[in-house]
Structure 1
Amino acid sequence: MAATPATAANGRLVSATALHTYATRADVDAALTADKFDPGTDRYGVRTYRLVYRTTDATGKPTTASGLVALPINDRVRLDTASFAHGTSIYKGDAPSVSDDVFLIGPALTFASAGFAAVAPDYLGLGVGPGAHPWMDIPSETTASLDLLRAARVFVARQGRQLSRDVYASGFSQGASAALGLGRALQSGADPWFRAAAVAPISGAYDFRHAEIPALFTPAVHPVLASAYTTYLLAAYDRLHDIYADPADVFQPPYVGLPALFDGTHPGEEIIPALPPTIDALLTPRGKALLLHPTGRFAKALAVADSVCTDWDPAMPVRLYYSPGDEEAVNANTAHCHATLGAPTVNVGVNTTYNGFVHEGSEVLAVPRVTRWFLDHVL
């Protein structure tokens, strides 16, 4: 599904707030290395800003969203843009424009210090955006990403600079699908100015129905995280697509009220202890059947999410970055996208020093490699 066509309201800049100044390359290096990012592509200091802009919600109604913009401190007037879509966040405060967590802002700092204008959408319902986040809803992730590009173009012009037409799109985990959705929308002509120059998703769940959901019921996915992802998926899709009549139909007691915690107002520190230790303890037989044998509106919604690797032929270079043994977005997702999209894969190796998870470590390993690949296209 392509992004909503441009309108006069989409992408209109509402406000811009200056956040941080990393005055020198050394300041950026210090921030990145504190969270184990490789600073090898750093060249410049960086200034960051929060933009609030107009977009549409998952039902097509007008709303606002927020996102991070990071600009290099240099004398270049014309800048290519790197868009980075973040991974799964449950809490509104865990979004690039409102968090100081380097894991969230590190990709934008890396791209900006390399010379790009970096944009990082918070998505709908995260950051300072209203409402609940429609998790893994590719159409609204696409429009939020595209409208942030439009708002950033206006903002950068007010700084006396200009964004070129070229957009280099990347993203991690949930954001990997969002990056592909953005590339697809730009290729389809969703915006009269911007065009996709290259797309580099990292560790995505591109085949939720046939790869990711079945893996949730196996040791391949960390059991507590399987419970978290399952609850988030069912809660978000029911909110948007009405896939079950009552939470008690799919969630076992005492977890019937668990979906209410996934409204964006509860941090992970509150949610994780409330999760069951396994997915089998979470779901009723009907809930398990819904996931493993989706029908109706649920099956249709999953097909839309999975279409980022099946319903288009990229005209720009695409590379799929991954770490072997990913215990969250299992590698079968990348294999599926490689087979259906024809894009080459890049094994970035394994780093478990970030919270002990291969999945999170793949972002830390991949972002510098993606940056170098994008720079190869520019230089």
Structure 2
Amino acid sequence: MKTSLKKRLLAAACTGLFLATATAPAALAASGAPTTVTIDDRGSIVSADLLASLSGAQVAASLGAAKFPVPAKPQGADLYAVVYRTIGVDGRPTTASGVVALPHRSRKNLWTVTYEHGTNATKAAAGSVADGDGRAVPLMFAAAGFAGVAPDYLGLGKGPGFHPYMDAATEVSTTVDLLRAAKELAGTKGRTLSGDLLVTGFSQGGHAAMAVGKALRDDRVWRLRGVAPIAGPFDVKDAEMPAALEDRLDPRSATFYLAYWTVSMNRLHHFYDSPSEAFRDPGVEKLFDGNHTFEQIAAGLPASLRDLVTDAYLERISRPSGAVLRAMEANDDTCAGWRPGVRVKLFAGRGDGDVAYDNSLSCLRDLRARGVKAMLTDVGDVDHTTSAFLSLPQVLDWFGGVRGGDR
């Protein structure tokens, strides 16, 4: 496999980020707490474990070594893995996990930043259980005096079941419920959250960031102040899928994404009765059970889309109708239907071989068509991973300015 996809999924995982720091449990609920609850309990904490307590110097060293931005005068922060109550794709109660980072010095009326992570098909690679951007980015914002929040999404990390990849509805529900949990956690630690919210995310997380922003645009609890998605697949039907089918994307990356998307959407929208209807090798479906590592998944996939899927399924995604079209339309509207009043800054690289730049152009058109004050920053002729590392310092600076009143 070319390095672009592997770099995005693995190289950003700052291995050993917290190994030098002592860890200690800080459970907020008894072990063995029930995992099925009433929907009224959404966002309540099942457990919260302290992953690390870092000084400002340790934060700077850790972020710098992993090539993440280091805020000016970084403060220390506490990082927690949180399991909380939420709802599944069927609306029934379940649990999910995520990361919350709280700054040491800033304690009152904290603005909150939620970070939506990129594509991950392995439970054990999520932020609540493994080092990576799901820990580093909320830590970065906490070091800048924000409360940093990063959901694992459904079915990843410590959550049960399968991950509904690219499902906007559950990207929103897991984020909103983790925000509630973060507010509860902050209160037990002597911090208060102001309710002012900024949202960012990378790749799948860019899609999730726009979905969350749209859902919370008029929320009564959270005041949405700005959204900054990075390289998101906002338009699968008219941007991402055509780029993949026309060989304008890295073929190995396109194969991975299409396989994952197909398996996920089939669980939600019923594309096929048997995986042999979509995949030349029906065993592909089993690769996306949440337990296979990235290397195992990569080794089990062919080199191109046409070697991955059947001719019949290739025709279905080339000319979508029925369930395939419904799945696309259900999740391609995160940039549409906004009301003006919240600024959106999109970031993407025109050289991206994983997520076509056209996705961000499509999102920009949708936003501007509704009068939203939006702009797109082209970070250059760079690959997918590099677009994130070039964008994050700008997102950090912008969010700091928004908090300071510079809109």
User: So what's the TM-score if we normalise by structure 1?
Assistant: 0.92
Matched, 1:287 2:313: yes
Comparing 217-226 with 15-24, greater Cα deviation is found at 217-226
Matched, 1:328 2:354: yes
- Equivalences for residues 366-377 of structure 1 within 5 A: 366-377=391-402
- Counterpart of 1:50 in structure 2 is 81
Matched, 1:216 2:244: yes
Q: 2:333 aligns with which of 277, 293, 307?
A: 307
Change (3 A) 1:29 1:186: same
AA in 1 matched with 2:120: S
Comparing 127-136 with 27-36, greater Cα deviation is found at 27-36
SS at match of 1:373: helix
Q: 1:36 aligns with which of 57, 67, 80?
A: 67
Task: Determine the C-alpha separation between the residues in 2 that align with 1:302 and 1:315.
Answer: 27
Task: Determine the C-alpha separation between the residues in 1 that align with 2:223 and 2:152.
Answer: 21
AA in 2 matched with 1:208: V
- Counterpart of 1:237 in structure 2 is 265
- Counterpart of 1:256 in structure 2 is 282
Structure 2 residues not aligned, in runs of 5+: 1-37, 369-373
AA in 2 matched with 1:44: Q
Matched, 1:124 2:154: yes
Change (3 A) 1:267 1:42: farther
Kindly state the Cα deviation for residue 48 of structure 1 after the two structures are TM-superposed.
0.3
Change (3 A) 1:122 1:212: same
Matched, 1:10 2:32: no
Change (3 A) 1:269 1:42: farther
Deviations 1:79-98 (A, max 9, x none): 10000000000100111111
SS at match of 1:318: strand
Change (3 A) 1:128 1:314: farther
- Counterpart of 1:3 in structure 2 is none
Structure 1 residues not aligned, in runs of 5+: 1-5, 352-357
Matched, 1:177 2:207: yes
Task: Determine the C-alpha separation between the residues in 1 that align with 2:190 and 2:323.
Answer: 47
Deviations 1:106-159 (A, max 9, x none): 211211111100000000000100001000000000000000000110110111
Task: Determine the C-alpha separation between the residues in 2 that align with 1:333 and 1:137.
Answer: 17
AA in 2 matched with 1:81: T
Matched, 1:137 2:167: yes
SS at match of 2:333: helix
Alpha-carbon contact 1:41-1:371 (below 8 Å) kept: no
Kindly state the Cα deviation for residue 40 of structure 1 after the two structures are TM-superposed.
4.2
AA in 1 matched with 2:128: S
Q: CA RMSD in A?
A: 1.5
Kindly state the Cα deviation for residue 350 of structure 1 after the two structures are TM-superposed.
5.1
- Counterpart of 1:354 in structure 2 is none
Kindly state the Cα deviation for residue 238 of structure 1 after the two structures are TM-superposed.
0.5
Alpha-carbon contact 1:350-1:361 (below 8 Å) kept: no
